């Protein structure tokens, strides 16, 4: 006698596995979302010198659209020296690899109706004290991590106390 293709036991176990998977994904995204809500507002304030996130340069406009703007030359840049940072990969260290000009380091993004303040390294370090920052992704994420570490190292007196631990 032929048995039905989907027996009650098989259907029930599949349904249970599907519910577990959906519940796990929901819990994961809920945890990530709560982490963003908890961590990002504090870090946003820590990375900037003033209490407001962005200051309007045009008083008639109340909304700051950071995606609408221009690249402007700023002689106070770069914020760190990549040649002095041990975390920058050799292939991305343009000056150490023989690039003669450094004008490409002096550009910053300026939105049309507001100004993005510079990073306050001391505040950022204090906000990150006893916390973990995780970058998940590919080589782009790795480069962003390198830039963040190099930037934060400018506020640390003992540069030897900053190190990378692999495999954990």
What is the rounded CA–CA span in Å between residue 70 and residue 168? 40
Q: Which helix or strand (DSSP H or E) is residue 71 part of? A: strand 69-73
Domain spans of the chain, in order of start: 35-158
Instruction: Give the per-residue pLDDT at 115.
Output: 85
Cβ-contact 139, 77 below 8 angstroms: no
Q: Cα Rg for the chain, rounded, in angstroms?
A: 24
Partners of residue 39 on adjacent β-strands:
none
22-58 pLDDT per residue, tens:
877 777 777 776 666 555 555 555 555 544 455 555 5
111-167 pLDDT per residue, tens:
988 888 888 999 999 999 998 888 888 888 888 899 999 999 999 988 888 888 776
What is the rounded CA–CA span in Å between residue 52 and residue 62? 13
100-137 as b/e: b if 16+ CB within 10 A:
eeeeebeeeeebebbebeebbbebbeebbeeeeeeeee
Q: Is the pTM of this model over 0.75?
A: no
């Amino acid at each position: 006698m032929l048995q039905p293709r989907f027996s009650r036991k098989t259907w029930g176990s599949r349904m249970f596995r599907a519910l577990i998977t959906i519940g796990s994904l929901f819990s994961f995204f809920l945890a990530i979302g709560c982490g963003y809500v908890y961590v990002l507002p504090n870090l946003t304030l820590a990375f900037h010198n003033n209490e407001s996130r962005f200051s309007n340069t045009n008083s008639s406009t109340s909304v700051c659209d950071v995606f609408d703007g221009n690249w402007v030359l700023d002689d106070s840049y770069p914020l760190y020296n990549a040649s002095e940072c041990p975390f920058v990969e050799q292939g991305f260290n343009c000056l150490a690899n023989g690039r003669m000009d450094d004008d490409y380091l002096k550009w910053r993004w300026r939105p049309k109706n507001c100004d993005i303040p510079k990073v306050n390294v001391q505040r950022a370090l204090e906000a990150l004290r006893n916390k973990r920052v995780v970058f998940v992704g590919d080589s782009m994420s790795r480069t962003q991590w390198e830039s963040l570490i190099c930037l934060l190292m400018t506020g640390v007196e003992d540069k030897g106390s900053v190190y990378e631990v692999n495999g954990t």
